[in-house]
Structure 1
């Protein structure tokens, strides 16, 4: 009677030991996979513009990741967000034989020939935040699904303006890939019958310049006296619009929303100028882009759909269609939660 019990106990012990061994082996495999990254990788980040607060946070996230895997990182880029302003930096990085270039593109097509030249010389190219045409890079690290960002912006502004009235969009540059993709989805969402009483009267461009965005806001309010909301899917634009409206007679009458960082928007939420806005963590975006570049440069991935890699504290990530990697859904910030975030 006791023998079967002993056999059962022995079997259970054997299975538990096997499971522990298996788990240990998986742990070793996982660690080995993370350790497959080459040491001393030279990775350069090229932001849209070097002094853009959003880009600084994103680049800092990239540098933190590079420090994690003992690479050599640097940030170089233009002070303006012009279509061709990043070209000279790309050419210099090619000459310096960087292992990877991580770039937030100012233009979908203008940079492609130069990035192709980089790739032909063995330099890995990852776009993040703002993509090029697919032939200009191996991977694109996207904040969130572009469709959900665009549609989400309309859903939010509809709520803020009671589902009816005139509103305008204050974008970055006319060529900004990410802005244009989001706006396309915003216009698509607007076609739904529940938005039939809302009218998009103007798409203005502040060129990701604080003063120009400020002046464009003033112009919108003058041109459209019945305006009920401004949507700025750019961190420079939303802050400039909020700053103008916060000291104008439009405060409390014209809603300001879009995409911005909690730290730059906190004062405007506290003083009632802004009720709600959205964003992801740009630091995590840069962090993920750096790990994607390091894995490409180390040969642990090639950029094909379905491949996975370890991205430090962000865990395992999988490459989707067209070399796209998604960070995650955006967060809506308002007075109830803005003090929980610091970036």
Structure 2
């Protein structure tokens, strides 16, 4: 049993990213100080939760992912749609085609004009979206960040895939195992300003300072912008720049698939390992042809599903976003809100040749 699999099964993930797969990833945008001045958060801190409150039918629940037409995003928002339909609400999906820092702002403004009841957002930048999100909250709209957090001052709760620490540690363990315990490794991330990616990588870098990782050298963090072709090209560039590279760790589903595709038909196959976060359906062929030994992920559909229920619970008054409050999220069961309004989905699963055919997402 691998070290990664042991951790993924035993790690107790409590509120504390997190954590995107991309499948979907901080710079730019408004500073936290300026953001707080630009739009004060809605006055929800004094509200009292009523766990017995009934969720009304017909809630208008919108999803605003990092970008549309992204394999990971499609699965996430599909789970969100499932949840909204169970709640007998009205589901809508909007979003940009690129994952730039400010690309989501205009969509938030439109959702405010549409008088949505809930906005679920996977933030491309934690600060750039804050003024608009706080305008939404002032208008009575509940804001749930999922997958990639917005600043805590401009959302009500955050639905995290797993703890930031747990994912960062997993990435470090992947680097150790796939490199054979020593040598050069590189990270292929999403965008340079992606909240979750940056947080995971920061934990990974701290982990690599520990004695057990002394043989590992992290040579570069490259950015494919969650674009398949750019991620493919960045893989090629990394391999050319570092001829002794042992492994590429990609904490985004777009990146890991692009890296595996490049290596699978190159002379690097069997010499440079690829691992990180991906979905079984996109990675199955690369596991079976030997390009990828193992990778990890949670079920992204459950993230969107949980976000839908969290938003509805907020709008109904079952929860306010305070630590310790509980609510039930349909088929996923009961959840407790952790520190800073974080709701943690649960531990990731490790996929390899032995189990990958047991999953279909």
Superposition TM-score, scaled by structure 1 size: 0.90
Is 1:97 paired with 2:118? no
Distance 2:102 2:319 in 1: 30
Following TM superposition, by how much is the alpha carbon of 1:33 offset from its aligned partner in structure 2, in angstroms? 6.1
Aligned partner of 1:159 in structure 2 is 177
Unpaired runs of 5+ residues, structure 2, are 1-49
Is 1:110 paired with 2:132? no
Distance 2:269 2:180 in 1: 16
SS in structure 1 opposite 2:159?
strand
Unpaired runs of 5+ residues, structure 1, are 1-31
Following TM superposition, by how much is the alpha carbon of 1:329 offset from its aligned partner in structure 2, in angstroms? 0.6
More displaced stretch, 284-293 vs 32-41: 32-41
Following TM superposition, by how much is the alpha carbon of 1:34 offset from its aligned partner in structure 2, in angstroms? 7.7
SS in structure 2 opposite 1:297?
helix
Distance 2:299 2:162 in 1: 11
SS in structure 2 opposite 1:154?
helix
Following TM superposition, by how much is the alpha carbon of 1:217 offset from its aligned partner in structure 2, in angstroms? 0.2
Number of residue-to-residue matches in the alignment: 312
Distance 2:166 2:330 in 1: 26
* Deviations 1:181-229 (CA, angstroms, capped at 9, x unpaired): 0000000110110111110000000000000000000000000000000
* Deviations 1:118-139 (CA, angstroms, capped at 9, x unpaired): 0011000000000011011010
Distance 1:327 1:154 in 2: 21
Aligned partner of 1:319 in structure 2 is 337
CA contact (8 A) 1:34 1:310 kept: no
Alignment of 1:106-255 (within 5 A): 106-255=124-273
SS in structure 1 opposite 2:88?
coil
CA contact (8 A) 1:33 1:310 kept: no
Q: Which structure has the larger Rg? A: 1
Following TM superposition, by how much is the alpha carbon of 1:35 offset from its aligned partner in structure 2, in angstroms? 7.5
Distance 2:70 2:237 in 1: 23
Distance 1:216 1:189 in 2: 24
Match of 2:57 among 19, 22, 39: 39
SS in structure 1 opposite 2:153?
helix
Following TM superposition, by how much is the alpha carbon of 1:339 offset from its aligned partner in structure 2, in angstroms? 0.4
Aligned partner of 2:72 in structure 1 is 54
Match of 2:318 among 300, 304, 316: 300
Bigger relative contact order, structure 1 or 2 (CA pairs below 8 A, ≥6 apart):
2
CA contact (8 A) 2:52 2:318 kept: no
SS in structure 1 opposite 2:311?
helix
* Deviations 1:296-331 (CA, angstroms, capped at 9, x unpaired): 011111111000001000001000000000000111
Aligned partner of 1:82 in structure 2 is 100
RMSD across aligned positions (CA): 1.1
